[in-house]
Amino acid sequence: MPFNINAIRQQFPALNQSVDGKTPIFFDGPGGSQTTKTTLNAIRDYFAFYNANLGSNFFSGVKTTEVMQQAREAVAALVNAPSADTISFGGSATMLMFNFSRAIGRDWQEGDEIIITAADHYSNVSSWKHIAKDKGVTVHQIAVDEQTFEIDYDELASKIDNNTKLIAFTYASNTLGSVLDAKRIIEMAKSVGALTFIDAVHYAPHFSIDVQQLDCDFLVLSAYKFTGPHVAAIYAKTEHLEGLTPYKVEPATEVAPNRWEQGTQNFEGLAGMTAAIEYLASLSGQELADSPLRDRLETAFDNIKSYEQTLSAHFLDKLKAIEGVTLYGKKSIEGRSPTFAFRLPKGTPAEFADFCAKRVVGVGAGNFYAQGLCEQLGIMEDGGVIRAGCLHYNTIEEIDVLFDLIDEFLNA
Ligand X SMILES: Cc1ncc(COP(=O)(O)O)c(C=O)c1O
Q: How many CB atoms lie within 10 A of CB 117?
A: 27
Which of 33, 395 has the CB closer to ligand X? Answer: 33
Specify whether the backbone of 80 is left (phi greater than 0), alpha (psi in -120 to 50) or beta.
left
* Site for ligand X contains 232 (CB under 6 A): yes
Residue from 63, 72, 121, 165 that binds ligand X (CB under 6 A)?
Answer: 121
Amino acid symbol at 346 = K
Which of 52, 211 has the CB closer to ligand X? Answer: 211
* Site for ligand X contains 206 (CB under 6 A): no
The site map against ligand X for 33-72 (x = CB under 6 A) is ----------------------------------------
Which of 92, 326 has the CB closer to ligand X? Answer: 92
- What minimum distance in Å lies between the beta carbon of 367 and ligand X? 11
Q: How many CB atoms lie within 10 A of CB 227?
A: 27
| Cα separation, 116 vs 189, whole angstroms | 12
Which of 35, 299 has the CB closer to ligand X? Answer: 35
Give CA torsion, residues 397, 402, 403, 405, to 10 deg: 130
112 and 137 Cβ atoms separated by less than 8 Å: yes
Which of 170, 284 has the CB closer to ligand X? Answer: 170
Residue from 170, 196, 282, 395 that binds ligand X (CB under 6 A)?
Answer: 170
Between helices 37-49 and 267-282, what is the axis angle to 10°? 150
Amino acid symbol at 344 = L
Q: How many residues bind ligand X (CB under 6 A)?
A: 13
**How many helices, marked H, and strands, marked E, lie in the chain?**
14, 13
| Cα separation, 40 vs 346, whole angstroms | 41
- What minimum distance in Å lies between the beta carbon of 224 and ligand X? 7
* Site for ligand X contains 94 (CB under 6 A): yes
- What minimum distance in Å lies between the beta carbon of 172 and ligand X? 7
Residue from 70, 99, 101, 123 that binds ligand X (CB under 6 A)?
Answer: 123
Binding piece for ligand X, criterion CB under 6 A, among 131-139, 152-160, 197-205, 404-412: 197-205
Distances (CA, A) of 217 to 76, 174, 210, 322, 368: 14, 21, 12, 43, 26
Q: How many CB atoms lie within 10 A of CB 193?
A: 9
* Site for ligand X contains 92 (CB under 6 A): yes
Residue from 199, 217, 261, 398 that binds ligand X (CB under 6 A)?
Answer: 199
Which of 127, 284 has the CB closer to ligand X? Answer: 127
Residue from 72, 159, 165, 202 that binds ligand X (CB under 6 A)?
Answer: 202
The site map against ligand X for 211-230 (x = CB under 6 A) is -----------x--------
- The one-character DSSP state at 144 is B
* Site for ligand X contains 330 (CB under 6 A): no
* Site for ligand X contains 165 (CB under 6 A): no
Amino acid symbol at 137 = V
Preceding omega of 257 cis (within 30 degrees of 0): yes
Strands (E) located in 160-306 = 164-170, 195-199, 218-222, 232-236
For ligand X, the binding residues (CB under 6 A) are 30, 92-94, 121, 123, 170, 174, 199, 201-202, 222, 232
